Amino acid sequence: MIQLIDVTKTYNTGKSEVHALKGISLEIPDNTFISICGKSGSGKSTLLNMISGADKPTGGHVFIDGVDINQLSDKRMSEMRNNKIGFVFQSFLLEPSLTALENVELPLLMRKMSREQREKIAIEMLDKVGLRERLRHKPGELSGGEKQRVSIARALAISPKILIADEPTGNLDEATGNSIMELIREHTKNCTFVLVTHDTALAQTADMKITIKDGMISRND
């Protein structure tokens, strides 16, 4: 279970303060598919960063399975993230010096998996996202949609308990997007899936739907 209690996030850019989250409280039971909608700049990506522990809230608490994640040491936090959480970032965050295959292998490497096993899983995932022919390409040699698919393969490769995805099909044509979403849904049957999307029809298919407006939850159903 993921639990947020009065989470706030203020970015201080030196010149000005941005109150990106203004008190978000939310409970997401295990194995829930939750969609998050809202206008650009409303705070969706910021919220995902709080849930995944990628960034710390200014105020409030985030509990994952009863653990206040911001009380964890850096080491414990990265262990928790590496073991439980797959993240598809809006900006992909691939390692530019590594090939597609090595990028997908990276979280598996952190799990101290053997090279053979890592490669097998990574190739299988890249095959599933349609990139069997691009294993040795580096991010700079891939299209935007291909990079997005590498980041999806990387997130799914660890069979996460929680998959957090920030507009994972935003750069894909409709047909590829649909088939990738199907693949994600297949791999998230027994996990919590937190999805930010502008696709309202897709959002409607979620178990829980929230809308963020100006750093607050404006609708929760």
Ligand X SMILES: Nc1ncnc2c1ncn2[C@@H]1O[C@H](COP(=O)(O)OP(=O)(O)OP(=O)(O)O)[C@@H](O)[C@H]1O
Closest CA to 196 of 90, 64, 94: 90
Q: Which residue in 165, 157, 146 sits closest to 100, CA to CA?
A: 146
DSSP3 helix / strand / coil % (the chain, rounded to 5): 40, 30, 35
Partner whose footprint covers residue 20, from Mg ion, ligand X, none (CB < 5 to 8 Å by kind): ligand X
Judged by CB under 5 A, does residue 45 bind Mg ion?
yes
Q: Build a one-symbol-per-residue string for 77-96: x at contacts with Mg ion by CB under 5 A, - elsewhere.
A: -------------x------
The residue (of 175 and 201) whose beta carbon lies closer to ligand X is 201
| Count of residues touching Mg ion (by CB under 5 A) | 3
In the sheet that holds 17-28, the strands lie side by side as 17-28, 2-12, 59-64, 67-68
* Least CB distance to ligand X at residue 60 (A): 16
CA separation for the pair 68, 83 (Å, rounded): 16
Return the residue of 25, 27, 41, 218 that touches ligand X, per CB under 6 A: 41
Q: Which is nearer to ligand X, 19 or 61 (CB)?
A: 19
What is d(CA 86, CA 14) in angstroms, rounded to the nearest whole number?
32
Minimum distance, C-beta of residue 124 to ligand X, in the bound complex (Å): 30
Residue 35 binds Mg ion, judged by CB under 5 A: no
How far is the C-alpha of 112 from the C-alpha of 118, rounded, in Å?
9
* The one among 24, 38, 89, 156 contacting ligand X by CB under 6 A: 38
Phi and psi at 27, nearest 5°, equal -120, 125
Q: Provide, rounded to whole angstroms, the least separation between the CB of residue 11 and ligand X.
A: 3
Residue 127 CA to residue 66 CA, distance in Å, equals: 36
Specify the stretch interacting with Mg ion by CB under 5 A; choose among 36-44, 145-153, 174-182, 206-214.
36-44
CA 110 to the chain's CA centroid: 18
Binding flag, residue 45, ligand X (CB under 6 A): yes
Nearest approach, Cβ of residue 65 and ligand X (Å): 25
Rounded CA-CA distance 63/86 in Å is 17
Segment lying near ligand X (by CB under 6 A), choices 37-45, 79-87, 93-101, 152-160: 37-45
Interface residue list for ligand X (CB under 6 A): 11, 13, 18, 20, 38, 40-46, 90
